[in-house]
Structure 1
Amino acid sequence: MRAITVTPGRADSLRLVDDFPEPIPDEGSVLVEAVAVGICGTDHEIIDGDYGEAPPGATDLVIGHESLGRVLDDPSGSLSPGDLVAGIVRHPDPVPCANCAVGEWDMCRNGQYTEHGIKCLQGFARDRWRVSPKFAVRLDPSLAELGVLLEPTSVLAKAWEHIERIGARAAWEPKRVLVAGAGPIGLLASLLAAQRGYELHVLNRSANGEKPGLVEALGGTFHTGSLPELGMEFDIVLECTGAPTVVLDAMCQAAPNGIVCLTGVSSGRMIDFDAGALNRALVLENNVVFGTVNANRRHWERAAEALAAADRDWLARMITRRVPVDRYAAAYHSEPDDIKVVLEFPH
């Protein structure tokens, strides 16, 4: 069986293994044949040796957490052979903490969760993989290979759920949304904003490639430059870059009672800013800033519904490169106009 592996903590250890062991039943009763795996910044950081943790007793980690496959067998009968599914990435900690105990492993309090392709669980970049039925999410079969977008969409489904829950604290009629960043997360955040009927604005560093057209196809307005230059306030801001200056600008451009959702992970770079002025603005305007990461099953199911309702041509334009597994190195080499790169497993 083919698998893409790394030795965690060792830079540039990425390789294709042709004789990787078949998944054992202890990994889950649902046996799945891989169709595709999406590639994101987390994969690149693991390849660089920044983090990643192999399963107990193993030295190598199969990477890949954005999965898509077809069910080969499910003894439980909850899924049927041929069903298109994705595997949920995070599993609850064994304690479990209060959140993991009720299925909200995305909000794990003690950090002992595990994650496919990232932390202590083998990933999905292999010919076949197994999961428990409760960690397999069925997709609309008409999505076909576009279903590989489910994992990043689940992150945004959670973000929007939390935005709406926070908004329910008081009378609130949001109209204008800003998404900072037009990478995969930003574009999927924009898709979910458009599905909710908001006035959409997307700010990105450059206007190269498909990104402006994808935003315009959603009925949104694409901007470049800095956020203050836009000259408007926003009821909802989704910050999807992690760039420190953009994060601060996003907090400052929220309208009264506005909500800022941070989805990007910042580098350790320090910048100077007036914390007192930011505090004053947040307090006097009743604004909320919160961070979000990962997703639980409820969010995965809502993400599946969002993708099923999306225009297939629009989703297909997000996938800018499809690379067969035997050319795996090319898939993990970034190109200037990449949005979403997908590693395919032909059988």
Structure 2
Amino acid sequence: MAGCDILISGTGGFAARIAFDIAATADDAVEVIIAGRNRERLNWLRTAANARAALFGKKARFATHAIDLLAPDASDALLAATDPRIVVQAASIQTSQVIAQSGNAWTQLVAEGGLSATAVFQALISARVAAAITARGKPVTLVNCSFPDVVNGIIVALGHAVACGMGNVAILSNVFAGSAATSPGADLKVLAHYQNLAAWRRRPEERGGRAPRVWLDGAEVADVYGRFADIQLTPEPVIEISGASGVPMLLAMAASRPWRGHVPGPNGLPGGYPVRLSDGALELDLPNALAEAEAIAWNASFEKENGLVVSPQGHVSFTGILGDRLAEHVPALRKGFPVRELEAVCEELLQLRSALMQA
């Protein structure tokens, strides 16, 4: 198979949203390969994406590559077969739908302890893909869509590069930009951690806790909940926005064009930031009044209070309520683990998840 501009790893709803929106918006020629195990699903995604490109008169073309992404050496084989310039890693062994599910002890643990309970699961395939890119030695841009606010830090701690993720902060930046409270053309910048999303899934009168930080034309919004009370997210993942949010960036990367917007986990940083793409590299594009160190510390504080933290030395720790809940079941996790033991810890937590889902 010839090389491609963009490789999409995964065939779920998030990957489909990315492919379908590339198909509907690509003004420049772009070759996309979608990879996954389910051949029938692959055939449909290819058919639908090429049909949408024809429907909208766009220049994207789609092909597929069948592979079990969890098989030994699958990431190395996938890169060798597709030779991508950009990898969009959207496959995971943990569905994001867990945030809207209930009825067993696992979903209760996630609801109480937070989504970072799934971070190790989300990191598994992405870390393997990142390692394969490093081993191959060819320049490839990795965009990790699996819980990037936290997982991108794990990838960097393992010694690999990752450009950014999609969604999360970009969900909020785009809904705020589309709000009636924002003037058309206003310069909007948002600093947000994925934990900030939960409030917007509740009714306006029920919202509270730490809000994202928002600047309009350089001035910080004092009452974010009040200013954007018209915004309402769904209880389940808002793929219609999150999956779409990275498409303009991907097309800019493929065409070597500059771009400005918002992404989670740029270059492995915690949380989400305004960024600019220039000469193929992402840099923070913060408001003038906000120092980089302050922005990073603000985002990092969420996981320090409750979640998963990776130290500069590569030690992973679970904190807050999440740390307490996991330690009740796996006491050894109270001390955390070296990031190099990711796969072994993932296996241990998979056993825990299986047991709790039966409880």
TM-score, with structure 2 as normaliser = 0.30
Return the structure number with greater strand share: 1
Return the structure number with greater helix share: 2
TM-score, with structure 1 as normaliser = 0.31
